[in-house]
Amino acid sequence: MPRPAGRRNPDYADKRARLVQELTDFVLRTPPTRPSLRQFAQACGVTEPTLRHYFGDREDVAIAIVEELGARAQPLMEAVETTAQDAAHAIDAYIELSIIGVRNGVFARAHCYCIVEGVADARVGRSYLTALLEPSLLALERRMAPHLPAGADAAAARAAALQVFAPMLLAVIHQQLLGGGDAAPMDLEDVFRSLARLARSGPHAG
């Protein structure tokens, strides 16, 4: 008996979830370009109509990937939120955690994919902001908040997070995705630890 119009297959959610996993793996192993719907379909061995059935248009596919990247980053963000005994330990432990996270290149590829897609389409950009970028910054804010001066406001907490996160992201993109590893090499681990020393000397140090 044919399925009634408008009713989904019982395994719809499982098939969609499997496609999201395959699509996300695809963007993490390829340069951060904007694949076409056809390229997305080829990457997971289905047709374009199949992707439209499970997601909608191409931007809906991109949003699903961005949301999956955010979900995969959740355990790391939860680890980042863990408090430390003082500002120095909070910063140093975060830097060491970040060093581990960038060694396989996933950090750079995930953020670059989201940036490329998000700048091109406002809906995808908002998804990146809410699913990955803002949660990453908030996790670091929560880690640093107990060590800020008494009376520090939200702007100070955000500045403390950006002071560490933003230069690390730029350095990783510089080296791993813009050719800096060959044209202008730097030791990322040394740079990260230097950022930690600079951050420890800031107004939250103590």
pLDDT tens-place string over residues 109-151: 999 999 999 999 999 999 999 999 999 999 999 999 888 888 8
Q: Please, which contacts does 194-199 make with residues 24 or more away whose CB atoms are closer than 8 Å?
A: 195/95, 195/164, 195/167, 195/168, 196/91, 196/92, 196/95, 196/164, 198/163, 199/91, 199/160, 199/163, 199/164
Give the pLDDT of residue 87: 85
HSE on the CB side for 12, CA within 13 Å?
A: 11
Tell me the mean pLDDT per 10 residues along the chain, length 206.
57 96 96 94 97 97 98 93 86 89 86 96 98 96 90 90 94 93 95 90 56
Displacement of CA 52 from its chain's centroid (Å): 25
Maximum C-alpha span of the chain: 71
Distances (CA, A) of 95 to 11, 130, 183, 190: 42, 23, 25, 10
Give the pLDDT of residue 10: 77
Rounded distance between C-alpha atoms, residue 187 and residue 175, angstroms: 9
Give the pLDDT of residue 105: 82
Rounded distance between C-alpha atoms, residue 158 and residue 191, angstroms: 21
Give the pLDDT of residue 1: 42
Q: Which pTM value belongs to this model?
A: 0.89
Rounded distance between C-alpha atoms, residue 176 and residue 178, angstroms: 6
Give the pLDDT of residue 206: 46
Give the pLDDT of residue 7: 60
Q: Phi and psi for 73 in degrees, rounded to 5?
A: -80, -10
Give the pLDDT of residue 202: 62
Rounded distance between C-alpha atoms, residue 35 and residue 181, angstroms: 25
Rounded distance between C-alpha atoms, residue 143 and residue 68, angstroms: 24
